[in-house]
Amino acid sequence: MHLFQEENPRRGRIEVICGSMFSGKTEELIRRLKRARIARQKVEIYKPAIDTRYSDEDVVSHDSNSVASTPVESSAGILLLSEQAEVVGIDEAQFFDDGLVEVCTQLANRGKRVIVAGLDMDFKGIPFGPMPALCSVAESVTKVHAICVRCGELAYVSHRKVEGDRRVMLGEHAEYEPLCRNCYNKAKAEAAEKA
Catalytic residue among 28, 44, 92, 177: 92
**129 CB-contact burial (10 Å; exposed 0-12 / middle 13-18 / buried 19+):** buried
Q: Does 92 qualify as catalytic in the annotation?
A: yes
- Cα–Cα dist 133/184, whole Å: 25
CB 81 within 8 A of CB 54: no
In sign, the C-alpha dihedral spanning 57, 58, 59, 63 is negative
Q: Which residues does the annotation mark as catalytic?
A: 92
